[in-house]
Every structure is written in structure tokens, then in C-alpha cells.
Amino acid sequence: MKKRAFLFIIMAGILWGSSGLFVNALKPLGLASLQMVAIRATVSALCMAVYALIFDRQCFKANLRQLILYLCSGACIFLTASFYYISMQASSVSTAVVLMYTAPVFVMIYSVLFFGEKFTKPKCVSLVLMIVGCALVSGIVGGLKFNAYGIVTGFLSGITYSAYNIFTKLEMKHKCNPVSASMYSFIFMALIALAVSKPYRIVEVVAEKPSAVLLMIACGVCTCVLPYFLYTLSLKAIAVGTASALGIIEPLSATVFSVVFLKEMLGIDSVIGIVMIVGAVIILSKAEE
């Protein structure tokens, strides 16, 4: 089961890494960052609700404690995406990516303090490799922009992302259905996002270009529904700190996608970073065996 869980997280990271492709396609339509977050959340919530209606209506059952956990997870997903986009605009993409992926550090701290997980030497080494590798892959080594607002919001995206991991782990400990957890988290995320994103602009874009609907649906499914669902399933078999750390494979896949599809150049720093991230994944995999 652990091998399958590792595969799920790697797949989730690859799908999350495709976000840049969809953002690159949606931005010319005149959509703001929060509106893109609202699109992802709404599509995801609808997809999961339809799935539950067709295949398993038991997924709609939830007690008050579970609903509170789902609300917290949904809020964390929304905040993570929002802070990430704000940091990206205020500083740079490279700064935002690396700061968001400080999440494993926060998760490890939470896990040691509250879940009794051991902070072993292999995990320590792998985290250092991942953080440095992520910095190299994203380009932060050569061009960090010291914008205080961008750096603070970047760290906040990492903190809220780590909080999402903790709430998800709590959901699994309380025997929550992974489908229910994902569905309700997306529903709450969508409600929050729609409340603050001026959704009428999304309607205007669809009215101007109906074909954009297909792109929006694909964005929600590929960058939200599938990766979060796979990630949630993986937490049933591996430690929350390890799961969050492995999720850092996202910037690796994002770099590959940018080179292959967006024709961006891959420097020697990025190559070294990719090797370090892959090495960190191998170390974590061995530590969990």
C-alpha cells in the first residue's frame, strides 16, 4: 500500500505542476488570480458532487465534526492558492514557489509536536535536499526579489498548505471517506472563492468565448480534483510530513512542462535541482520501507 501511496503523491505532484499551463492559457482571457481560484474550486466541487450522486451517495453524509474539518481544509486550500498568486505578483514566480514549499518544514514541526512522528535523519536530509533543489529548479538562486509583502504572503501560502495537510490527516484519523473529504473541501473552497472573486467576470468571459468553458473544466479536473483526491488517499498509508515533502515534486514537473510546452530554457542550476529533488524522493521512499 505504501508503494501505491508514493505513486499517488508523485502523480498528484505532476498534475499540480500542470497549473502553469492552464494559467498561461486562461490569463489572456482577462481573468484575475482569485477568479482562476474560483474556477478551479467550482469545477472541482461540481465534479465531485456529480461523482458522489452517481456512484456513492453515502459520501454526502457527514457529522458536525467532519463538516468543521472539511470547512477548515477548504479554507486552507483557498488561502494557499490565494497567497501563492499574491506572492507571485508581488515578488516573482520563483520566490512564490519556493516559499510555498516551505510547507514540509512546518508539517514536520506540527507532526513532531502533535502527532508523535519521529524527525529522523533521512527525513532531515531529504527536506534539505528538496528545499535547496526547489530553489535551484525555480531559479530563486539567481533572481530572488526582496519584496517584503511578496515574501510574507509566500510564507503564508506555505503555512496554510501545511495546515491543509494537518486537517487532512485528522480527517483520515477520524475515518472520513476520502471522497467526502475532497468533495466538501472543494465545496467550501468554492463558496469562499466565489464570495470574494467577483464571479460575474467569469460569466462575462464565458459569454464572450463559450469555448473557454472546456478549458475551465480541464483546469479544475487536472489541477484540483485528481491531485487532491490522490493526495488524500495517500495519507492513509504514509506519514503526513513525508506526504507533504513528496508533494514538492510539483515544481519539478512544472519546470519540465514549461520547457516542453512553453519553450522555456532549462539551465544547469535547474538540472542540479531536479537531481536533488529526485534524490530526496528516493531517500524518503527508503526511509518509509
Number of Cβ within a 10 Å radius of residue 238 = 19
**Which pLDDT tens digit goes with each residue over 128-173?**
887 787 777 656 665 544 567 777 887 888 889 888 878 888 887 8
CA distance 137 to 17: 13
Least confident of 66-80, 82-96, 150-164, 204-218: 82-96
The pLDDT tens digits of the residues spanning 233-267 come to 787 777 766 776 666 677 778 777 877 887 767 67
Spatial distance between the Cα atoms of 245 and 233, rounded to a whole number of angstroms:
16
pLDDT at 273 over 70: yes
C-alpha cell at 41: 474550486
| Average pLDDT, integer, range 283-289 | 62
Q: How confident is the model at residue 49 (pLDDT cuts 50, 70, 90)?
A: very high
Q: What are phi and psi of 265, to 5 degrees?
A: -80, 145
- Computed over every residue of the chain, the mean pLDDT equals 81
For the CA atoms of 47, 196, 24, 153, the dihedral, rounded to the nearest 10 degrees, stands at -110
82: how many CB neighbours lie within 10 A of its CB? 21
CB 156 within 8 A of CB 79: yes
- Asked if residues 287 and 122 have their Cβ atoms less than 8 Å apart, the reply is yes
**Domain of 129, in residue numbers:** 2-288
- Whether pTM exceeds 0.85: no
**Per the structure, how many domains does the chain have?**
1
pLDDT digits (tens, 9 = 90+) for 161-194: 888 878 888 887 888 888 898 899 999 999 999 9
CA–CA gap between residue 266 and residue 79 (Å, rounded): 30
Q: What confidence category does residue 33 fall into, taking pLDDT thresholds of 50, 70 and 90? A: confident
Mean pLDDT of 37-66: 91
